[in-house]
Amino acid sequence: MVLLSLCGLCLTQDCNKQLLEDVDFPGMDITFQYSPDVYHCQQLCTQHPSCRFFTFLRSDWTRDESYFKCYLKTTDSGEVAAENPLNGVTSGFSLKGCTPELQPCLPKVYPNVDFFGADYTALFTADHEECQRACTQDPGCQFFTFVHEDFVTESIRFKCHLKYSPSIPVPPIVEKEPGVVSGFSQNIQFPQQSTEACEGKLFPAISIPHNNLKTYPALCPEHCRALCSAHPSCTYFSYDSNEFKCHLKNNREKMETISEEGFTSGFPARFCWLDENWLKVAHKDVDFQGSDIRFEVTDDAVSCQRKCNEDPICQFYTYVTETHPPEYRRHCYLKRTITMPAPSNVKKLNNVTSGFPLRSCVNIATHPKVSSI
Ligand SMILES: *[C@@H]1O[C@H](CO)[C@@H](O)[C@H](O)[C@H]1NC(C)=O
């Protein structure tokens, strides 16, 4: 970790891998997300821009139905304010200070756990191992749920549900703001699926009004195309540059376009190496609001971009130029969002098994006997 004297929210982050069972770190919640276990929760905290520590409600949490909730937390000092005994929870720390794996290997499978929702396709497989292989081999699959042969609804026995959560950065707010400059780290990994280069045609002043699948904030048409390429159900997209909105579309039968200024449309690039030069382009008068890891003071936007490239945690940045009020001037805000597989809901359900693909598990993927306790 590089530590500079001129920075905010950048207190030293120690590498502390300790997990405290039946200990609660009370209060100071930033947000919660669902996790099947404490290790996944710890990775979520590591990937969250401002999370310093967390408390996870395990499956044996009995007070209410809040089990599988992963509470992401911080304090002004970065230190835990209190440690209280509490049955059914495990607390721990962000691994930001530990040279974290940003695409962690999550080899465990979870019997009687449903990763509810977020389905993009399904198939039938003989067992959950085969379902996990199906997920591993589909570049869009981020997690899965397999229905066993003793499941109560007969017609969905052996069904393998493949699921998606965003695997590339989606800044929560992108908006016009005079006097700031924003852009991406050049180290962002896109799920490139071929070594053959391609340009990827864009259609300026063309919009596709129907068949909306999902809308995300996005910086430019190329960012929108990356989001479409990563989403397995996206058949084409339409980017609105006035609103900074990326509309992913789903219709495998037809495509209806209209002329509309301010819109750019295009297709996903799934069969070629998509040009990544757009990552170098800084956008003037656009703000990525929130998602701050920390800020530093730099001379110009180019140095800010370099700072972001140099920090493995940073995915995107916003630099405040001289025209702004003095207290923010020359601040370089380094930012990120969670891009690891993150189920939107995790529930208890008998006779199903859920898990993650083994794509990031270089060594483990070759060993067939990876299962959970
Ligand atoms: C799970 O399987 C058991 C028997 O193996 C059965 O009694 C139970 O109803 C099943 N539950 C669900 C939700 O499928």
DSSP string, 201-248: -EEEEEE--S-EEEEEE-SSHHHHHHHHHHSTT--EEEEETTTTEEEE
348 lines ligand 1 (CB under 6 A): no
152 within ligand 1 shell (Cβ under 6 A): yes
What DSSP state is assigned to residue 175? E
Rounded to the nearest whole angstrom, what is the distance from the C-alpha of residue 103 to the centroid of ligand 1?
Answer: 35
Q: Which of 107, 77, 78 is nearest to 93 (CA)?
A: 78
How far does CA 275 lie from the centroid of its chain?
Answer: 21
pLDDT at site 38? 98
* Residue 12 clears pLDDT 70, i.e. is over it: no
Which residues touch 269 (CB under 8 Å, ≥6 apart)? 198, 200, 225, 229
Distance of CA 364 to the CA centre of its chain: 23
Asked whether 151 lines ligand 1 (CB < 6 A), one says yes
Q: Which residues contact 327 (CB under 8 A, 6 or more apart)?
A: none
d(Cα 99, Cα 50) in Å, to the nearest integer? 16
The per-residue pLDDT for range 182-206, each reduced to its tens digit, is 999 998 887 777 788 887 899 999 9
Instruction: List Cβ neighbours of 367 (8 Å cut-off, separation of 6 or more).
Output: none
Ligand 1: which atom is nearest the Cα of residue 351? 1
Task: Please give the structure tokens belonging to residue 148.
Answer: 């066993």
Phi, psi of 56, deg, nearest 5 = -110, 130
Angle at 126 between CA 124 and CA 128, to 5 degrees: 90
Q: Is the pLDDT of residue 23 over 70?
A: yes
DSSP 152: S
Residue 102 — very low, low, confident or very high, per pLDDT cuts 50/70/90?
confident
Half-sphere exposure of 370 (CA within 13 A, CB side): 19
Is residue 150 in contact with ligand 1, taking CB distance under 6 Å?
yes
With beta carbons less than 8 A apart as the criterion, state whether 294 and 7 touch.
yes
Secondary structure element (H or E) that encloses residue 84, with its range: strand 84-93
Calculate how far, in angstroms, residue 152's C-alpha sits from the geometric centre of ligand 1.
6
Return the ligand 1 atom nearest residue 153 CA. 14
Rounded CA gap, 358 and 6, in Å? 40
Taking 50 as the threshold, does the pLDDT of residue 109 lie above it? Answer: yes
Question: pTM for the full model?
Answer: 0.91
Tell me what the mean pLDDT of segment 268-285 comes to.
90
* Ligand 1 atom with the shortest distance to the CA of 350: 13
Residue from 350, 352, 353 whose mutation best tests the ligand 1 pocket (most atoms within 8 A of CB): 350
From 147, 156, 351, 353, mutation site for ligand 1 pocket: most ligand atoms within 8 A of C-beta: 351
- According to DSSP H, which parts of 98-177 are helical? 128-137
- 8 A C-beta contact, residue 14 and residue 3: no
Is-contact 172 157, C-beta < 8 A? no
Return mean pLDDT, the chain: 91
Confidence tier at 373 by pLDDT (50, 70, 90)? very low
Per-residue pLDDT tens digits for 236-256:
999 999 999 999 999 999 999
For 41-50, what is the mean pLDDT? Answer: 96
350 lines ligand 1 (CB under 6 A): yes
Across the strands, what pairs with 143?
A: 163
Cβ 321 under 6 angstroms from ligand 1 = no
Alpha carbon dihedral 200, 276, 317, 6, in 10-degree steps, equals -170
Q: Token pair 């770190």 is at which residue?
A: 25
Query: In the chain, pLDDT over 90 holds for what percent of residues?
Result: 79
Nearest C-alpha to atom 9 of ligand 1 is from which residue? Answer: 152
Region 204-233: what's the mean pLDDT?
96
**Residue 358 identity:** L
SS3 for 276? coil
State how far the Cα of 10 lies from the Cα of 137, in Å rounded to an integer: 39
Burial of 3-18, coded b for 16+ CB within 10 Å and e otherwise, reads eeeebebbeebeeeee
- Centroid of ligand 1 to alpha carbon of 151 (angstroms): 5
